[in-house]
Amino acid sequence: MKKIAAVLTSQSGHWVGDGFPVRSLFSYDREAQDNSPFLLFDYAGPYNFPPAAAPRGVGQHPHRGFETVTIAYEGEVAHRDSTGGGGIIAPGDVQWMTAAGGIIHEEFHSPAYTKTGGPFRMVQLWVNLPARHKMAKAGYQGIASADIPVVELPGGTARVIAGAFGEAKGPARTFSPINLWDVRLTAGAEVTLDLPEGHTALLAVLSGHVTVDGTGAGEAEIIRFAREGSQARVRADGDSVLLVMTGEPLGEPVVGYGPFVMTSEAEIRQAIADFNSGRFGSA
Ligand code: MN
């Protein structure tokens, strides 16, 4: 069994643009090595937006050196980026954007959701890239809900977004070994999760409450496991929605400045210079 290393809670709430009321459950400016390869976890909502005339969100901005993974639970987001990638992600869908050498994108509520308003809940997870891939070509994977395999569990389900869960394989292509599972448990369910030995393993509670090895975690809390051991027994104390992330630690320096995460100050200065001279393109 894996031991629990820490329980992470939201340090602060803030708005990203006018469309995303987020709680950051972790960020690369603290414990970056403990969470590697994961850099940042923003939980947007739950929030209820009234109908509006103009889409709320965040306009064109850059990223370099990592990937952003957006998972929609409620509400809809429309995305457009400088690779020509784009589309609408609706509940159940996942957008896996590889910023790598540089991307410009915008993230707004979809036109349809803007009109109706309603409940809104999303996760944006930043996944670091190994140094040798940080300047790779930018890319975009739009992953539809229908393409994500669902594994039945005793008292729940696991949707396999990336990596594997038993025999089921997730559709996302990743640059380093990663598992990403959307796990739903009904109250009273108890499941054993196989979390690879040596991986960073994080269990985020988005709603509900779970107990693992005598430690409880509720909404907007993340259990971080020790790297040793390979299993965790999770009990759902109520109906719960969990996001389970595991990944091989990269073991490389993490030097970040806002939307750029590289391995040295010199690379950050280069990213700023490249962005200022228009070398990231436009969305
Ligand atoms: Mn962004």
Q: How far is the CA of 240 from the centre of ligand 1 (A)?
A: 28
* Stated pTM of the model: 0.97
Give residue for tokens 């940042």.
40
Tell how far CA 111 is from the center of its chain.
23
Quote the pLDDT of residue 12. Answer: 75
Q: How far is the CA of 68 from the centre of ligand 1 (A)?
A: 7
Mean pLDDT of 261-282: 95
Q: How far is the CA of 124 from the centre of ligand 1 (A)?
A: 9
The sign of the torsion formed by the CA atoms of 258, 263, 266, 267 equals negative
Question: Are 81 and 105 spatial neighbours (Cβ–Cβ below 8 Å)?
Answer: yes
Instruction: Name the burial class of residue 6, with classes exposed (0-12), middle (13-18) and buried (19+) by CB atoms within 10 angstroms of its CB.
Output: middle
Q: How far is the CA of 16 from the centre of ligand 1 (A)?
A: 9
Q: How far is the CA of 101 from the centre of ligand 1 (A)?
A: 14
> Going by DSSP bridges, is the β-strand pair 215-218/260-262 parallel, antiparallel, or unpaired?
unpaired
Q: What is the residue-averaged pLDDT of the chain?
A: 97
Quote the pLDDT of residue 173. Answer: 98
Q: How far is the CA of 67 from the centre of ligand 1 (A)?
A: 10
Q: State yes or no: pLDDT of 283 exceeds 80.
A: no
Q: How far is the CA of 99 from the centre of ligand 1 (A)?
A: 9
Q: State yes or no: pLDDT of 14 exceeds 80.
A: yes
Mean pLDDT of 85-108: 96
Q: How far is the CA of 63 from the centre of ligand 1 (A)?
A: 7
Q: How far is the CA of 88 from the centre of ligand 1 (A)?
A: 15
Quote the pLDDT of residue 282. Answer: 81
DSSP secondary structure string for all residues of 61-85: EEEBSEEEEEEEEES-EEEEETTS-
Half-sphere exposure of 208 (CA within 13 A, CB side): 22
> Going by DSSP bridges, is the β-strand pair 94-98/66-74 parallel, antiparallel, or unpaired?
antiparallel
Q: What is the pLDDT of residues 162-207, one digit of tens each?
A: 999 999 999 999 999 999 999 999 999 999 999 999 999 999 999 9
Tokens standing for residue 234: 């999770």
What amino acid is encoded at 211 in this protein? T
Q: State yes or no: pLDDT of 10 exceeds 90.
A: no
Q: How far is the CA of 3 from the centre of ligand 1 (A)?
A: 34
Question: Are 2 and 195 spatial neighbours (Cβ–Cβ below 8 Å)?
Answer: yes
Q: How far is the CA of 107 from the centre of ligand 1 (A)?
A: 7
What amino acid is encoded at 106 in this protein? E
Instruction: Name the burial class of residue 84, with classes exposed (0-12), middle (13-18) and buried (19+) by CB atoms within 10 angstroms of its CB.
Output: exposed
Quote the pLDDT of residue 46. Answer: 96
